[in-house]
Amino acid sequence: MKGNGAEGAGPPAESSCPPPLEWKFSQVFGERIAGEEVQEVDIISAIEFDKSGDHLATGDRGGRVVLFEGTDVKNYGSRKDMEKQDHSISRHPEFRYKTEFQSHEPEFDYLKSLEIEEKINKIKWCQTANHALFLLSTNDKTIKYWKVEEKKVKKISEMNVDALQAVGNGSISSSSMTSPIGYLPNGGCSERPYGHLSYDLSFPPGGFPSLRLPVVTSQETSLIARCRRIYSHAHDYHINSISNNSDGETFISADDLRINLWNLEISNQSFNIVDVKPANMEDLTEVITSAEFHPTHCNMLAYSSSKGSIRLIDLRQSALCDNHSKMFEEREAPGSRSFFTEIIASISDIKFARDGRHILSRDYMTLKLWDINMESSPVAIFQVHEYLRPKLCDLYENDSIFDKFDCCLSGDGLHVATGSYSNLFRVFGCNEATTLEASKNPLRRQVQIPSRPARSLNSLTRGVVRQGAESPGIDMNGNSYDFTTKLLHLAWHPSENSVACAAMNSLYMYYA
């Protein structure tokens, strides 16, 4: 990739580059109205599409997981099924609220006198089975395995015999309703008066020749989320990432110093496969920041560090993978080192491309695309907000320099995206660098839907035609530097050019 905001050369060649994408606004869930204050617990902290792209999950600082589904899912089964039925239909993915559940609660570790926040750090989708959805969610210490499925809510039809129906040569008289004697269904009687019950439960002497049995009828379906397993007490430090294996049976969880391997079916045991903790903690020089399994090779995974390096390890080499197979690290330019060099070099997120050959990494200033067959340097570097370099002192003073931004790739691997400040996110391709502001859309078509309880992402949804956006607080080059608003979390649809991104408590959807 090569072009605006990018350095270096990488796949594909410029001649094969697709035309630049034209981005448009699609939807927003949970947007604030003017003057409304956002509660801390409502701020979105994780976003993840499932492999089909039919479902989207978000997690927030209040420990909730909210699920959305594509609007075509229920009518056609999936978007692919819809497209097979009518190739002339051309739509961008649209989503609707599906359900939500409380995944984590605040806890207190009495042994360490430590409060454990309920904030959701990561969400990962697992393989579906029997029309049920499965996903993993984690806070700082505990991982949970959830099953979300539809259950039929059954209602019993009226059990009463029609009071107006004639029986034999007579009918049920109104006097039977006030009789002090209650007739039982078997023809007997009781001295206890039944007048306080509905007349439908009063029977004439001898009973009816026949009795209608109650009938169970299905009225509607309800989504139920059940926690299948809890994986806990395996991390001394905060969990920063989880990742499913392509074998569908195992996953990893990583904290600052260790990576553990789990079996989905076993919650009381895990295997420590990476341990970078030194014998003396004073000798600690770097920590693990993110980890992810290879998309197709179940024996390979990569993890990044606070020193800006990415290590690729092979589980077949050793049970404890402290020695890496490959290491990707950009060489430092002579004379460029400063007080902030190591801080801004720390990698906050890594993602494998679907082809498994490329790894995308995000440090504070840049996106880097790596080829796993070339360790010497990245094949492309994308400058996200280079204009902030003169302001590193200010960023350090207000702790913004420690913000951790996500990154993502398109399904075809031709575009990459990441967030920035002032709720901006940037999309890079071969010959393009597009900046969009998630929360600023001047022309809106508002569609109200039924309101829901507080702390809900579904209280309001709107559709928008985007024509452009103003950017308050811009510098002389037109770049924004409002550090109070930041777009940390975003995800790319696996098969469509559609991006979901979070600004505070709002979920914004864009398509191209």
Q: Report cis status (omega within 30 of 0) of the bond before 12.
A: yes
Look up residue 476 and give its DSSP letter.
T
Q: Which two tokens stand for residue 359?
A: 């790894």
Q: Which two tokens stand for residue 330?
A: 């950009």
| Residue 188, Ramachandran bin (φ over 0: left; ψ between -120 and 50: alpha; else beta) | beta
In the predicted structure, residue 174 carries a pLDDT above the cut 50: no
Ranges of beta strands (E only) in 131-287 are 133-138, 143-156, 182-183, 189-190, 216-231, 241-244, 250-254, 258-263, 266-275
Instruction: Give the span between the Cα atoms of 421 and 425, in whole angstroms.
Output: 8
Domain holding 194, by residue range, is 158-214
- The reply to whether 6 falls in a domain is no
What is the model's pLDDT at position 85?
Answer: 46
Strands 24-29 and 461-464: antiparallel
What is the model's pLDDT at position 489?
Answer: 96
Look up residue 389 and give its DSSP letter.
G
What is the model's pLDDT at position 170?
Answer: 44
In the predicted structure, residue 390 carries a pLDDT above the cut 80: yes
Q: What are the residues whose beta carbons fall under 8 Å from the beta carbon of 397, sequence distance 6 or more?
A: none
CB 416 within 8 A of CB 382: yes
What is the model's pLDDT at position 382?
Answer: 94
Dihedral angle over CA of 67, 68, 73, 79, nearest 10: -120
Q: pLDDT band at 122, cuts 50/70/90? A: very high
pLDDT in tens, 401-454: 999 999 999 999 999 999 999 889 999 988 778 888 887 654 443 333 334 444
Count CB neighbours of 422 within 10 A.
23
| Mean pLDDT on 15-31 | 82
- The reply to whether 191 falls in a domain is yes
Q: What are the residues whose beta carbons fall under 8 Å from the beta carbon of 490, sequence distance 6 or more?
A: 47, 406, 408, 417, 418, 419, 425, 499, 500, 501, 502
- The reply to whether 209 falls in a domain is yes
- The reply to whether 178 falls in a domain is yes
Nearest of 199, 220, 203, 219 to residue 211 by alpha carbon: 203
Q: Which two tokens stand for residue 469?
A: 């956006």
- The reply to whether 185 falls in a domain is yes
What is the model's pLDDT at position 208?
Answer: 61
Give the length of the chain: 512
pLDDT in tens, 253-299: 999 999 999 999 999 999 999 999 999 999 999 999 999 999 999 99
Instruction: Give the span between the Cα atoms of 195 and 215, in whole angstroms.
Output: 25
| Mean pLDDT on 343-349 | 95
| Residue 339, Ramachandran bin (φ over 0: left; ψ between -120 and 50: alpha; else beta) | alpha
- DSSP bridge partners of 217: 155
What is the model's pLDDT at position 478?
Answer: 57
- The reply to whether 187 falls in a domain is yes
Number of domains in the chain: 1
Q: pLDDT band at 470, cuts 50/70/90? A: very low
Higher per-residue confidence, 87 vs 265: 265
Look up residue 40 and give its DSSP letter.
G
Q: pLDDT band at 33, cuts 50/70/90? A: confident
Higher per-residue confidence, 176 vs 98: 98
In the predicted structure, residue 196 carries a pLDDT above the cut 50: no
What is the model's pLDDT at position 405?
Answer: 96
Strands of the sheet containing 380-383, edge to edge, are 6-7, 380-383, 366-371, 358-362, 349-352
Instruction: Give the span between the Cα atoms of 79 and 67, in whole angstroms.
Output: 17
- The reply to whether 166 falls in a domain is yes
Q: What are the residues whose beta carbons fall under 8 Å from the beta carbon of 447, sequence distance 6 or more?
A: 461, 462, 463
| Mean pLDDT on 120-125 | 96
Please list the alpha-helical segments (H only) found in 54-184.
73-76, 79-85, 175-178
What is the model's pLDDT at position 179?
Answer: 42
What is the model's pLDDT at position 42?
Answer: 93
The amino acid at residue 109 is D
**C-alpha dihedral sign at 117, 115, 348, 343:** positive
- The reply to whether 485 falls in a domain is no
| Mean pLDDT on 218-226 | 82
Higher per-residue confidence, 131 vs 80: 131
Instruction: Give the span between the Cα atoms of 169 and 24, in whole angstroms.
Output: 75
Share above pLDDT 90 across residues of the chain, in percent, rounded to a whole number = 52
Share above pLDDT 70 across residues of the chain, in percent, rounded to a whole number = 73
First to last CA, the chain: 19
Q: Which of 157-161, 215-219, 468-472 has the highest mean pLDDT?
A: 215-219
Q: Which of 160-169, 322-331, 465-474 has the highest mean pLDDT?
A: 322-331
In the predicted structure, residue 240 carries a pLDDT above the cut 90: yes
Instruction: Give the span between the Cα atoms of 61 and 400, in whole angstroms.
Output: 19
Higher per-residue confidence, 335 vs 95: 95
- Lowest mean per-residue pLDDT among 171-175, 204-208, 356-360, 457-461: 457-461
